[in-house]
């Protein structure tokens, strides 16, 4: 069976989903596309060779006009939960871009609705679908480092050259915590298999920043067993840029793992790198990384299609993602309050 999808939100990233990610996955077929911008909608419709009857200005119109199994939402974050609820109420499975929502409570409403209706609700945490973090997860699960003593994560990019009016990114709510660090937070939970319990966060606002909210932030994250993770993220860094998944150092009694991931274009795994330096070794040894049929968004989309068809529940389910959102939200609370904040996961 092919999962028939309505694709909602065809902007900068959504357009790339439409043209590159979705067509690569044979388990899905687009039966409708939605965007309120007529120009954006028409450009994608033409590129995909879809009939005019498959293009809609709203999800409501699309749900009325076409038969679909699922809705893929790549519109702005503020629309994610309202669109997901509408799709779930129409009996459709949902795959939604990160950040699932700007608050964990808002996201929980969609999780509850999906559970009541027995529908798949997955968040596209695409950084999980790269070889390096998956191998690191397996190495840590195999106790390669013994007891962990520290994890340090750095993310550095520069995105501040565009005119304010032309670049929606500057207006994303919490461009560092909610737009970017959510990826690293979600990876932290995946690779360690541990949950965060408390965070102290500090945001800085350089005068040259074009961002409406914070573009630079640091966090100290306390995990459930007492491990402390240090995180430094910046959209305004003139230092050497990191890959999108950041630079990681994971230190334990028996050695250190370093990794980086998602270095190039979306889906390019050639820049993924994992090294292990065991106690007493003078140099680090690279670890061979397996590849999968699909990576990045395509890997998540394939997992979603398989769940819809009765396969395993997605590892990045809406329910799982509440835990990533809860840390993201606690970080924004801490940056505002100036004190450490507990991670509060809604039920």
Ligand X SMILES: NC(=O)c1ccc[n+]([C@@H]2O[C@H](COP(=O)([O-])OP(=O)(O)OC[C@H]3O[C@@H](n4cnc5c(N)ncnc54)[C@H](O)[C@@H]3O)[C@@H](O)[C@H]2O)c1
> What residues make contact with ligand X under the rule CB under 6 A?
8-14, 34-37, 40, 59, 74-77, 79, 97-98, 126, 168, 179
The torsion angles phi and psi of 3, rounded to 5 degrees, stand at -80, 120
- Residue 241 C-beta: closest distance to ligand X, Å: 16
Nearest to 328 by CA among 231, 212, 206, 207: 231
CB atoms within 10 A of CB 231: 22
Query: Which residue lies nearer to ligand X by CB, 62 or 223?
Result: 62
CA dihedral 300, 306, 311, 314 (to 10 degrees): 20
Query: Which residue lies nearer to ligand X by CB, 7 or 145?
Result: 7
Q: Angle at the Cα of 340 (from 214 to 333), degrees rounded to 5?
A: 40
Cβ atoms of residues 121 and 318 within 8 Å: yes
- Residue 182 C-beta: closest distance to ligand X, Å: 8
Query: Which residue lies nearer to ligand X by CB, 99 or 255?
Result: 99
Query: Which residue lies nearer to ligand X by CB, 9 or 314?
Result: 9
- Residue 183 C-beta: closest distance to ligand X, Å: 7
- Residue 16 C-beta: closest distance to ligand X, Å: 8
Q: How far apart are alpha carbons 79 and 109 in whole angstroms?
A: 14
- Residue 147 C-beta: closest distance to ligand X, Å: 33
Instruction: Determine the length of the chain.
Output: 347
Query: Which residue lies nearer to ligand X by CB, 2 or 60?
Result: 60
Cβ atoms of residues 304 and 70 within 8 Å: yes
Query: Which residue lies nearer to ligand X by CB, 139 or 242?
Result: 242
**Is the C-alpha dihedral spanning 33, 35, 41, 47 positive or negative?**
negative
Query: Which residue lies nearer to ligand X by CB, 8 or 227?
Result: 8
Q: How far apart are alpha carbons 135 and 122 in whole angstroms?
A: 22
Q: Using CB positions, name the residue nearest to ligand X.
A: 11
302: helix, strand or coil: helix
- Residue 179 C-beta: closest distance to ligand X, Å: 5
- Residue 26 C-beta: closest distance to ligand X, Å: 22
CB atoms within 10 A of CB 141: 11
């Amino acid at each position: 069976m092919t999962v028939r999808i309505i694709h909602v939100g065809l902007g900068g990233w959504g357009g790339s989903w439409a043209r590159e990610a979705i067509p690569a996955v044979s388990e899905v077929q687009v039966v409708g596309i939605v965007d309120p911008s007529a120009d954006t909608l028409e450009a994608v419709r033409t590129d995909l060779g879809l009939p005019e009857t498959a293009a809609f200005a709203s999800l409501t119109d699309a749900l009325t006009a076409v038969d679909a199994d699922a809705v893929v939402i790549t519109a702005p974050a503020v629309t994610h939960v309202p669109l997901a609820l509408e799709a779930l109420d129409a009996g459709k499975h949902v795959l939604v871009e990160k950040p699932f929502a700007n608050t964990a409570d808002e996201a929980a409403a969609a999780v509850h609705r999906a559970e009541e209706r027995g529908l798949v609700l997955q968040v596209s945490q695409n950084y999980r679908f790269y070889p390096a973090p998956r191998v690191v997860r397996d190495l840590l699960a195999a106790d390669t480092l013994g007891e962990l003593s520290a994890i340090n994560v750095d993310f550095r990019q520069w995105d501040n050259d565009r005119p304010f009016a032309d670049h929606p990114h500057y207006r994303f709510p919490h461009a560092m915590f909610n737009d970017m660090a959510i990826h690293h937070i979600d990876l932290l939970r995946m690779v360690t298999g541990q949950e965060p319990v408390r965070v102290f966060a500090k945001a800085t606002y350089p005068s040259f920043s074009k961002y409406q909210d914070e573009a630079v932030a640091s966090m100290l994250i306390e995990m459930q067993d007492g491990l402390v993770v240090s995180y430094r993220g910046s959209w305004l860094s003139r230092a050497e840029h990191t890959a999108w998944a950041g630079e990681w150092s994971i230190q334990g009694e028996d050695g250190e793992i370093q990794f980086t991931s998602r270095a190039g274009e979306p889906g390019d795994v050639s820049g993924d790198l994992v090294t292990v330096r065991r106690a007493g070794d003078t140099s680090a040894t690279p670890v061979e990384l397996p590849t999968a049929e699909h990576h990045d968004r395509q890997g998540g989309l394939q997992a979603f299609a398989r769940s819809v068809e009765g396969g395993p529940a997605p590892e990045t389910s809406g329910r799982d993602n509440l835990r990533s959102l809860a840390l993201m939200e606690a970080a924004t609370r801490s940056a505002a309050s100036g004190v450490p904040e507990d991670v509060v996961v809604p039920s």
